Amino acid sequence: MRKYNYLKKDEEIVINNTKIKIEDLIYQFAPLFTNNSEMPLQCLFEAIQKDKTKLILIYRFVWKNEKHPNILINTVYTLYRYLWYGSLKDIEAIAIVIDINNNLVEKVIYEEPIIKKIIVEHQIVEVNINEKLNNAKRSTFEVISWNHLFSITKEKGIKTYKLLELNDYNFKKLRILKRSNLNII
C-alpha cells in the first residue's frame, strides 16, 4: 500500500483563500501530447500535499506495453518487466508542483531519455514554471523514446487519454512503488 497520504479527487484544498476541488486542478493542468506522439491508453492521477506548502499533482500515463527495437533484448526485457511489475504495462509519470502559499505553479517534473547503445536511461528533469495559478498553461510533451519517455515542447498539444483516479487497487496491482516516482514520494 501507499506509504504516504494523498488527497482524493473530491477533496478540497485552500489556495489563495479559495477552496478548489482536487479534481478541478487535475483537469486544469493535465499534460498534453503532440500529435506525433504515441498516445497513452489512460492516465492515473493522484494529488499529494507536502509540508502544507506544496501540492503535487502526479499524472501516471499508462501504455499497453513497451517494445525494445532489438527483438532478442525485447524478449528478455519483456520477461523481466512481467516478473518485476506483474504486467507488461508501461507507466511513466509527470508531476506538477504547486506552491500553495504563493499561488504559483512552481515546476514540472518528468523523465527524459538518455539514449545509449542498448538501453535508454531515465533522467529526471525539473522545469521551473513560476506562473500564477490562474495564468499557468498546460505543459505539452512529446514521447521521444521506445519506452515512452518525454521531452517538453512548445508545440501545440492535444489530450486524448482518459483520466482516472489512482485508487488503492490499481496502486497495488500496477506496483506503483516499484515504478518511477520522480524522487518526490
Residue ranges of the domains in the chain? 12-176
Percent of the chain with pLDDT over 70: 99
Contacts of 27 (CB under 8 A, 6+ apart): 163
Say if residue 180's pLDDT is above 80.
no
pTM of this structure = 0.93
Whether 185 shows a pLDDT value over 80: the answer reads: no
Digit-coded pLDDT (tens) for 34-54? 988 889 999 999 999 988 899
pLDDT at 118 over 80: yes
Question: How far apart are the C-alpha atoms of 154 and 45, rounded to whole Å?
Answer: 23
Q: What is the pLDDT averaged over residues 81-92?
A: 92
pLDDT at 183: 80
Q: How confident is the model at residue 16 (pLDDT cuts 50, 70, 90)?
A: confident
Q: Which amino acid appears at position 15 of this protein?
A: I
Please spell the DSSP secondary structure of 112-134, one letter per residue.
Answer: EEEE-SS-EEEEEEEEEEEEETT
Please, which pLDDT band fits residue 182 given cuts at 50, 70 and 90? confident
What pLDDT does 133 receive? 84
